[in-house]
Amino acid sequence: MSKPIVLHLGDSIKWNHELYTKLGEQFTIERSGNMSRQEFKQALKDRRFGDFCAMYRPFWNTGGEMGNWDDELISLLPHSCQIYASAGAGFDWVDTKRLAQSGIIYCNAAAACTESVADAAIWLILSTFRNFTWSALAARSTDAEQFRDANRNIAGVTHNPNGYALGIIGMGNIGYRIAQKATLAFGLKILYNDLYRKTPEMEAAVGATYYEKLDDMLAAADCVVVATPFGGTKLLNGSNISKLKRGSRLVNIARGKLIDEEALVAALESGQLIAAGLDVHYDEPNVNPKLARMRNVELLSHTAGASVESHVGFERLGMENILTFFETGEAMTPVNAHLINKL
């Protein structure tokens, strides 16, 4: 009897070879390589990979050459496909509801990059309080006047974060890890808004205060961190950005499209916000030039989750999701399982 098929998208694995051997013992592994969208569509139409039961994408930088996973692609998948396990935390590039309509569970790998993303969030938070961007730019300019300007004047506009209120939008694994690091390392007071409230024990462990209404938390926080998945619409627009405490700070390590960037620029220009830290951008890979010119804004290139440890975890967690799903009937990190029986 032939083994079920797993379609491996993108490059070969690099680290978890024993686990990949186990996967190969239980499944026939077909490879798509790095096909373009048209090539991949044609391969699916021709059933070149057979009736595979799972898709596995171990890396974020490869295996996505076919572009966004929408109805055009999903409708071509064989009826035998039951699970798609991919690297990465965000899933704005895949229509998880449409996958659910075909009975396919999508699993992300946010758990594998929690530590890396939380570390980057801490850097951005600290940067917004201490304005390290201004200091770094002045030093890198090699201009003595810019150096002196930062050296003499930065103390008048920066603060230690200890005792200030950090508001977290989205208290999932990443949001909670940010809370742990922020309160233990810097003595920040934790506020949070989420669809689901944490247990009293988890709140107590980080001294967190729950806000059912987002606007109420925005008004109370000295720094707000966006750590929630992109649901298809802006989370922070001109209206609720105006609800932020005047002179507060904003950090985004989630998705750029969660924030109205022009409203963010306006808030920084007006002093509504005194600093921002962004790992993600509205029109990636293009960075807003107005934000790029601001020395009170720290900018990264969507690298918060980028570490060797994250990529080892991405690779491993995808295989574990597939193996666990076919052993127990349940995946480890499903994103859309709650939709499967409702559609």
pLDDT digits (tens, 9 = 90+) for 309-343: 999 999 999 999 999 999 999 999 999 998 886 55
Whole-number percent of the chain with pLDDT over 70: 99
- Bridge partner list, 33: 9
The structure tokens listed for 217 are: 């938390």
Radius of gyration of the chain (CA): 22
Average of per-residue pLDDT across 300-317:
96
Catalytic residue status for 302: yes
> Comparing 72-81, 144-153, 334-343, which segment has the lowest mean pLDDT?
334-343
Of residues 334, 295, 277, 288, the one with CA closest to residue 134: 295
**Residue 342, pLDDT score:** 57
- pLDDT at 91 exceeding the cut of 90: no
Average of per-residue pLDDT across 299-303:
97
Average of per-residue pLDDT across 100-125:
96
Cα distances (angstroms) measured from residue 335 to each of 58, 169, 286, 321: 17, 18, 28, 12
The pTM of the full predicted model, rounded to 2 decimals, is 0.92
Q: Which of 8, 255, 281, 311 is catalytic?
A: 255
Q: Which of 212, 262, 269, 284 is catalytic?
A: 284
- pLDDT at 92 exceeding the cut of 90: no
**Residue 188, pLDDT score:** 98
Mean pLDDT score of the chain, rounded to an integer?
95
**Residue 61, pLDDT score:** 85
- pLDDT at 21 exceeding the cut of 90: yes
93 band by pLDDT with thresholds 50, 70 and 90: confident
**Residue 191, pLDDT score:** 98
**Residue 60, pLDDT score:** 82
**Residue 113, pLDDT score:** 95
| Chain length of the chain | 343
**Residue 140, pLDDT score:** 97
Residues 6+ apart with CB under 8 A from 68: 93, 94, 95
- pLDDT at 15 exceeding the cut of 90: yes
Q: What is the dihedral of CA 283, 286, 290, 293, to 10 degrees?
A: 140
**Residue 343, pLDDT score:** 52
Of residues 32, 68, 25, the one with CA closest to residue 52: 32
Q: Which of 159, 197, 295, 302 is catalytic?
A: 302
Average of per-residue pLDDT across 6-18:
96
Query: Residue 19 class from Cβ within 10 Å (0-12 exposed, 13-18 middle, 19+ buried)?
Result: middle
Residue type, 7: L
**Residue 90, pLDDT score:** 80
Catalytic residue status for 284: yes
230 band by pLDDT with thresholds 50, 70 and 90: confident
**Residue 235, pLDDT score:** 95
Instruction: Count the neighbouring beta carbons within 10 Å of the beta carbon of residue 51.
Output: 12
- pLDDT at 39 exceeding the cut of 80: yes
205 band by pLDDT with thresholds 50, 70 and 90: very high
Catalytic residue status for 255: yes
Can you tell me which residue has the tokens 């070879």? 17
Give the separation between CA 59 and CA 63, rounded to whole angstroms.
7
The structure tokens listed for 251 are: 């950090």
Strand order from edge to edge, sheet including 189-193: 208-210, 189-193, 165-169, 223-226, 248-252, 273-278, 297-299
Whole-number percent of the chain with pLDDT over 90: 91
